[in-house]
Chains A and B, each alone.
Chain A
């Protein structure tokens, strides 16, 4: 009964989405206030019904209703309760319903947050979000219905993929989806503005907080994914340039470019076309990511389904959602006039460089991801692109970007002379250069040219980001920083921290694979490791062999680590649970793998310096975003325009 209620609610939500997609937009074009007024109630109603549908699916999971096909495929009565809850998005159909739920939440937020904006504009934005919602709801209803029944119902379910039975899985997909789907909001703002061709500073001011919010979640989501693959996949990697990772990373790169470009449009009224195109591209890449992961063209942990009609459907949506706005853009491009110019040495120029370099990086990743797929679909052979290529193609635009970032932060709008810039930055540059070369050498006694360069750049970015806050807090010179400026400093400092982490992990990781018997000792990266042996462990849904390792440094016991080789009962899948001793400065990663016979076990041991910085950096970036959104001018702008409208309304009555 409950699943049918969910199904019915989903259909009702689709009907409301249709209303939301058509009437407000037509109303805005014809000046019909009562049609425009439908946008918010339709969005709210849609949210309620989608919430009911999502609740119905969760109900089926929590009550082990294996007569629902999706539940039977992805759950089991022995599954711990919170994994039953998260299993709702552990498969294709449920994750599409989740996509829709997240979109409904964003739409509701936009409906609530856009009251201070002109009614026509808000109606168009909500209308575009309605169109997006229609497309995805139709996709779910026609090709991926999570409520399909299974008769006869099996006695028990097929269980959730053991790799997904992990606390990281509770937060990684929601974060990522909120970010991914959030790109629909700047997209809707851009398309709404293209309807009239009025793209001004105000438009950028309204769009920017939404973009930053979505970007923050995307940042956190990608970071959590990286962290999860590091500890869960059992071999200590943190980024694989796997097509699925790439498909979440491309929207991130473009969204990062977008929020910088929006800064220019907001302050100076230029870069309009560029900003609009980036907004369209960010959302299109999110959809492309959905297509790549959901159509079965790619194979990975994330690809749940291999169904060609689904792929075709999403490809069609992609064509509509990127082709339509691009056509609209082509019609309107003439009316998007720049409201000013700028000189070669100005903040605009640095932000332009930022945009170009980020787009180049995104383009290279896109090429490397799609090329093998295109070659394969043409029947020209099966190829894969090696990670060294991605590494190189990413480093080439990113290193200059990081160098320019330090200068750009201290540049001013329109035009400036180079002398004050040099005077201000000579000290941070000198310190970064000195420390960057000596630090790796002192710590490890060796440093390749690339390591030294990357360390210098990382420290340069950190120093440039700290300059302004330190001047104010320590020296009490200059002006106090606004939240937005502080956010920028935080985020850029995070970039530096990340580069430092990535450099040290790549250059100084010590790793080895050994055959170990109880009592064996190993020396890895300055640590003495004693393998105590293996003992069996039982749990509700798996059995495991647990290996114990004593970690010593200079004779002193650091910790005892226990890594497990698990076999999950239902699917009989073996997985490795790595044991990690993490400190801020380094991780010791030990993974007990397969038995080798004769009481020996294969064991992976890695010592990874500064690996925590890889996740700390993006966390700082996200905090920076949070600070930027909470800036006074956004709250002020909202209050002011609400006040003006109140006055206008009072005048007319």
Chain B
């Protein structure tokens, strides 16, 4: 091989190695930043990880309680089969409402209470997040079977 070719080959090799390293790092970071979605039934069955995940379902009617004037609120998320108590401190989104769909992000605390870092409830009030709709459909399927 001519020196010119060797040089070029070396350059290509370096670029490929560099790209490989970059992609590896990117994908590893990607995996760490994924949050999975679980339904209350899956949480009750103990399928959930110890790290942060998302939980979705309907906010159970009359389940919302708070010390008057306090930012901390407790409510129950249900998929009509299982119920998970949730605790959250902060401003609730405008469209958060009992009987409507909600997705919360956080982790499972001691005593089975889900501690939410973020509460997501958006769009019009008749809207159910697709994950929640899916989870509810699964429950209905099991009930009719």
Contacts and interface: CB of A to CB of B under 8 A. Distances in A.
A517 B129 CA distance: 34
Interface stretch (B1-9, B78-86, B117-125): B117-125
B140 interface: no
Interface in A372-390: 381-386, 388-389
Contact of A382 (B37, B66, B90): B37
Interface string B76-107: 00000000000000111011100000000000
Contacts of B54: 382, 384
A151 B68 CA distance: 49
A510 interface: no
Given A571-B124, A573-B125, A597-B68, A602 B33 contact: no
Contact of B90 (A234, A384, A513): A513
Given A514-B71, A600-B68, A384 B91 contact: no
A389 B29 contact: yes
A94 interface: no
B143 interface: no
A600 to B, nearest CB: 4
A392 B29 contact: yes
The SS class assigned to the B binding surface is: loop
A161 B122 CA distance: 12
Contacts of B131: 382
Contacts of A383: 34-37
Contact of B91 (A381, A599, A602): A602
Contacts of B69: 515, 517, 596-600
Interface residues of B, number: 29
A566 to B, nearest CB: 9
A572 B69 CA distance: 25
Contact of A234 (B33, B66, B94, B130): B94
Interface residues of A, number: 41
Nearest to B125: A573
Interface in B59-81: 66, 68-71
A602 B92 contact: yes
B36 to A, nearest CB: 5
A527 B71 CA distance: 22
Interface string A231-254: 000110000000000000000000
B110 interface: no
A571 B71 contact: no
B21 interface: no
A515 B71 contact: yes
A484 interface: no
Interface in B36-56: 36-37, 54
The SS class assigned to the A binding surface is: mixed
B92 A388 contact: no
A517 B33 CA distance: 38
A42 B68 CA distance: 68
A593 B123 contact: no
Given A575-B94, A598-B68, A301 B123 contact: yes
Interface string A551-587: 0000000000000000000011111100000000000
Contacts, number: 90
Contact of B124 (A161, A513, A591, A599): A161
Contacts of B129: 299
Nearest to A397: B22
B91 A513 contact: yes
B68 A385 contact: no
B134 to A, nearest CB: 8
A573 B33 contact: no
B91 A386 contact: no
A384 B37 contact: yes
Given A593-B91, A597-B68, A381 B37 contact: yes
Interface in A430-473: none
B66 A299 contact: no
Contact of A594 (B30, B91, B130): B91
A392 B95 CA distance: 31
B118 to A, nearest CB: 11
B29 A384 contact: no
B95 A574 contact: yes
Contact of B70 (A368, A515, A572): A515
Contacts of A515: 69-71
Pick the most buried of A161, A514, A574: most chain B CB atoms within 10 A of its CB.
Answer: A574
Contacts of A301: 122-123
A604 interface: yes
Given A572-B125, A598-B68, A600-B68, A385 B30 contact: yes
A364 interface: yes
B95 A573 contact: yes
Contacts of A596: 66, 68-71
Contacts of B96: 594
Nearest to B73: A596
A158 B125 CA distance: 13
A38 interface: no
A600 B66 CA distance: 12
A299 B130 contact: yes
A599 B54 CA distance: 32
A106 B139 CA distance: 51
B33 A385 contact: yes
A551 B6 CA distance: 69
A345 interface: no
A381 B35 contact: no
Interface in A346-392: 364, 367-368, 371, 381-386, 388-389, 392
Contacts of B71: 513-515, 596, 602
A107 B74 CA distance: 57
A575 B68 CA distance: 22
A286 B40 CA distance: 38
A575 B121 CA distance: 12
A393 interface: yes
Interface of B: 26, 29-30, 32-37, 54, 66, 68-71, 90-92, 94-96, 122-125, 129-131, 134
8 closest Cβ pairs, A-B complex: A598-B68, A389-B33, A600-B69, A382-B37, A386-B33, A597-B68, A598-B69, A593-B91
20 contacts: A234-B94, A235-B91, A300-B122, A364-B26, A382-B54, A384-B54, A385-B33, A386-B35, A389-B33, A515-B69, A571-B124, A571-B125, A572-B125, A573-B94, A573-B95, A594-B92, A596-B68, A596-B70, A600-B68, A604-B91
Given A383-B37, A573-B125, 7 more contacts: A299-B129, A382-B36, A382-B134, A383-B34, A385-B33, A572-B125, A600-B70
